[in-house]
Amino acid sequence: MRASERMSGERTRERLALTELLRGSPSATTATLLELSARQAARRRPASLLEQRRRDGFVAPSTLDLRLAHRLDGLALAAAADYEALLLSPVAPLGSCSVVARTSQDRTLSTARGTEVVSDPTNVLAIECATRLRASPRAAARLCTIHQVLRAQPLRPVPGYTRHFRMLALAEAGRARAEDGFEVAAFARQLGVYARLLDACAARGWTATGRRIVVLARADASTLGDRVAAALTAVDPGAALERRELDAPYYDGLRVLYGASAPGTGDFLPLADLGRFDWVATLTSNHKLRYVASGCGILLIPQLFGGSAPRATSSGS
């Protein structure tokens, strides 16, 4: 047999082996992936670790001081006192984002053990809410967390953007109520948390001026948008209100942005992103359940409104 034929046969066998590996469940492929990782690690040298630390944004530490982060954590958790606070695992089941929210798996960092590094805690909180409501469908869940999120999508070409950043996430799930009662209450409660957080930050010299609420509703959810807008105006009467049409299938008909004027330009800077999602209803196969979740990159507040604070910027809100 000629050498070219042997090489062709080897490549064919490799492709077949890879095909069988991809067909397997995550648990079935774990041993193979762990063996691959062990062999790759065995070939590494100390110099390669330093080189990766230099060039790889996944492993570089934040430019922000850890004490500042802990101060923000305390302010955020105090503002969310009405929510049960969870300390999430650094990893979640493989597909927590791409299956729950139907986004690309490429935005997360997958592991060799059938898990992925948490890239959006609102997805993980949806799984936690669904777990609780499957056991007690008439109950309600009101959860929050602060998590060091890591995302794998391409970074914006802006100095200081990082692959990991600190996020406050809020989540509420429960049965639908008349006149969108569940959603109206959940949106108002969550925006109230962010308003209290901005107030607490302002008391420490990190003042976000020109607050604005932007309500984006799909055409068939305009009544829901009206009801939520009225409730949010009462939560923060000093914030300007703006209405827009929603054109984003990621949300279940309604999205709310809450932010302030960017220093220097005065442009609207969204700090918190709130939305209604069908995730818990899908996870539980119970379409009477509603889910409202939100997130805020809390370290943006001292970075952008703190004057002498470090200027690095997170890769998400």
Q: What is the pLDDT of residues 173-198, one digit of tens each?
A: 999 999 999 999 999 999 999 999 99
Residue 129: domain span? 65-314
Look at residue 13 and tell me if it is in a domain: yes
Q: pTM to 2 decimals?
A: 0.84
pLDDT per residue rounded down to tens, the chain (317 residues): 565 655 565 666 556 555 655 666 666 677 777 787 788 888 888 888 889 888 888 888 887 889 999 999 999 999 999 999 999 998 888 888 888 877 778 777 787 778 888 889 999 999 999 999 998 888 899 999 999 988 877 766 654 457 788 999 999 999 999 999 999 999 999 999 999 999 999 999 999 999 999 999 999 999 999 999 999 999 999 999 999 999 989 999 999 999 999 998 999 999 999 999 999 999 999 999 999 999 999 988 998 898 644 444 444 44
Q: Which amino acid is at 288?
A: K
CA distance 78 to 214: 25
Q: Angle 171-174-178 (CA atoms, 0-180°, nearest 5)?
A: 120
Residues 117 and 197 in one domain: yes
Look at residue 58 and tell me if it is in a domain: no
Look at residue 266 and tell me if it is in a domain: yes
Residues 29 and 159 in one domain: no
Residues 8 and 93 in one domain: no
Look at residue 50 and tell me if it is in a domain: no
* pLDDT computed for residue 158 by the predictor: 52
Look at residue 111 and tell me if it is in a domain: yes
Residues 77 and 11 in one domain: no
Residues 94 and 19 in one domain: no
> What's the CATH number where 167 sits?
3.30.930.10
The CA-based diameter of the chain, rounded to the nearest angstrom, is 82
Token digits of residue 314: 């997170």
Token digits of residue 183: 């959603």
Name the pairing type of β-strands 254-261 and 240-245.
unpaired
User: How many independent structural domains does the chain possess?
Assistant: 2
Closest CA to 100 of 72, 134, 77, 125: 125
